[in-house]
Amino acid sequence: MILPLDHLALRGEDSAEALVLRGDVLDYKALRSRVSRLAAWLAREVPEKGARVASWAAKGELTCLLPLAAARAGLVHVPVNPLLKRAQVAHIMADSEAALLIATPSRLASLDEGDVPLACRVVEEASALAEAEGLGGDMPPSQADPEELAAILYTSGSTGRPKGVMLSHANMWLGAESVADYLGLAPDDRTLAVLPLSFDYGQNQLFSTWYAGGCVIPLDYLMPRDVMKAVDRHAITTLAAVPPLWVQVCELDWPAEVAAKLRCLTNSGGALTVDLVRRMRVLFPKARLFAMYGLTEAFRSTYLDPALIDTHPTSMGKAIPHAEVLVVNDAGEIAADDEEGELVHCGPLVAHGYWQDPERTAQRYRPAPAGSRYGGMAVWSGDRVRRDADGLLYFVGRRDAMIKSAGNRISPQEVEEAALATGLVAEAVALGVADTRLGQAVHLVVRAAPGVSGAQEELPRKLMQELPNFMQPKVIHWREAMPIGPNGKIDRTGLAMELGA
């Protein structure tokens, strides 16, 4: 049965631990109470149903409870990645037309006049929590239609600024149920939430654990060793990460008794290498390792049965529960075994499109191909895959120009626009170059603006001010002239070949 998202708070036993915060541990009874009070405060502050409420803060009580509280209040949550800087945040605030922004003081201080819409109220994180507690009101579980919008998650596209993926109560409820099911999560599971809560799978760390009645321990780590310490301190059983973090985790000297605490490891945001799989299997021999593939537009799509990870380490696996994953060839037909085609995701996990962007919605969300058991709208991923005779999927390549670095999807155009906006360069091309630690590293090819001196020293400093860390170019290549292709445009393909992208 599909229920409104806020009903996830009702899943665990009253006295069971639900959320471990700094200096505070909430059992499920306390979790329900605080979600109820925060929802009542939100409903008072933003009475218009369907209005957007944005959060821009590190992991803590607010960012963990707000997704459920906003859903209960009939509002739409817009979580902003805490690593983003003012230009990206200003775009998200304007695009979402948020009525309320709750953020930490330091982040609010980084915004300029006009970055937040005039109609948007701004509240500091601590004040919001204090006002909700002081209000003392309660709001019962919602009776929302599961197809109503519950969240907008902003993700970069291959061109242009971040676009907001619209997710319903049903999308996120079924996503939580699906992951809890195939991971086999149980009430005694303790999940270390290291992924950003602004990501689809980052949020699912909360939702799938609470669906199972387990406990979440959010962590904003500074060093990989912090992860190992937290696993030991909190008796963590479940850990999700992206490949670059797994690389760093596997470089640590794990005491055998600490490594043995982990019984479920999940990977997303990029493929695991064969070498990394082998190292993880040696380091965590008692843990089941789940390799997964997904896209924000449809949450998760596939997972590989841990029993197959040793024999098929490069496979994406098969469709997760509630998903139908098809391979469609260039003729628009279901591909034969081992025939390359586009991955198309059908079923109830498919999001409702991009917020206020019908043009890009129409490009990615199209009718399901003939042969789909679900029909309706599907997500045409742009990713090229093949399916073998056993039904296992394998990634072939990406159709678009997206850069995927450390689990982050980065728009080349966004990096290029930031470089051009400095006035130091006349032309800029951002490319993703294969990198053993990051998956892909951002390389920026630029031509200096005429008459500008000191550009080589100044550009990195300017980009550090305007772009979040994960978007920073690893290498900046300076050219006297850009290569021009037959169409009169910059030859991106030639540059990519030259740099090994």
Q: Which two tokens stand for residue 10?
A: 């009702």
What is the domain count for the chain? 1
Q: For residue 284, report the phi and psi dihedrals to the nearest 5 degrees.
A: -125, 65
* CATH code, domain with 459: 3.30.300.30
Return the pLDDT at 158. 45
Would you say the C-alpha torsion 241, 7, 126, 235 has a positive or negative sign? negative
| CA 226/CA 252 separation, integer angstroms | 11
- Judge contact between 265 and 236, C-beta under 8 A: no
Q: Determine, yes or no, domain membership for 421.
A: yes
Q: Determine, yes or no, domain membership for 114.
A: no
Q: Which two tokens stand for residue 322?
A: 């509630």
Task: Write out the residue range of the structural domain in which residue 485 sits.
Answer: 403-499
Q: Determine, yes or no, domain membership for 279.
A: no
Taking CA atoms, 180 is separated from 4, 210, 238, 490, in Å, by 17, 9, 11, 47
Decide: helix, strand or coil at residue 449: coil
Q: For residue 97, report the phi and psi dihedrals to the nearest 5 degrees.
A: 55, 50
Q: Determine, yes or no, domain membership for 398.
A: no
Q: In what order do the strands lie in the sheet with 439-448?
A: 425-435, 439-448, 475-479
The residues facing 266 across adjacent strands are 240, 290
Q: Which two tokens stand for residue 226?
A: 């912090």
Return the pLDDT at 123. 98
The CA angle 403-407-409, to the nearest 5 degrees, is 35
Return the pLDDT at 141. 97
Residue type, 466: E
**pTM, full prediction:** 0.87
Q: Determine, yes or no, domain membership for 436.
A: yes
Q: Determine, yes or no, domain membership for 408.
A: yes
Can you say how many angstroms the Cα of residue 27 is from the centroid of all Cα atoms in its chain?
27
Residues of the chain predicted below pLDDT 50: 158-159
Percent of the chain that is helix, strand, coil (3-state, to 5): 35, 30, 40
Decide: helix, strand or coil at residue 98: coil
H/E run at residue 133? helix 125-135
| CA 413/CA 492 separation, integer angstroms | 12
Q: Determine, yes or no, domain membership for 220.
A: no
Return the pLDDT at 211. 98
Q: Determine, yes or no, domain membership for 3.
A: no
Q: In b/e form, how buried is each residue of 59-82, taking b as 16+ CB within 10 angstroms?
A: bbbbbbbbbbbbbbbbbbbbbbbb
Return the pLDDT at 327. 98
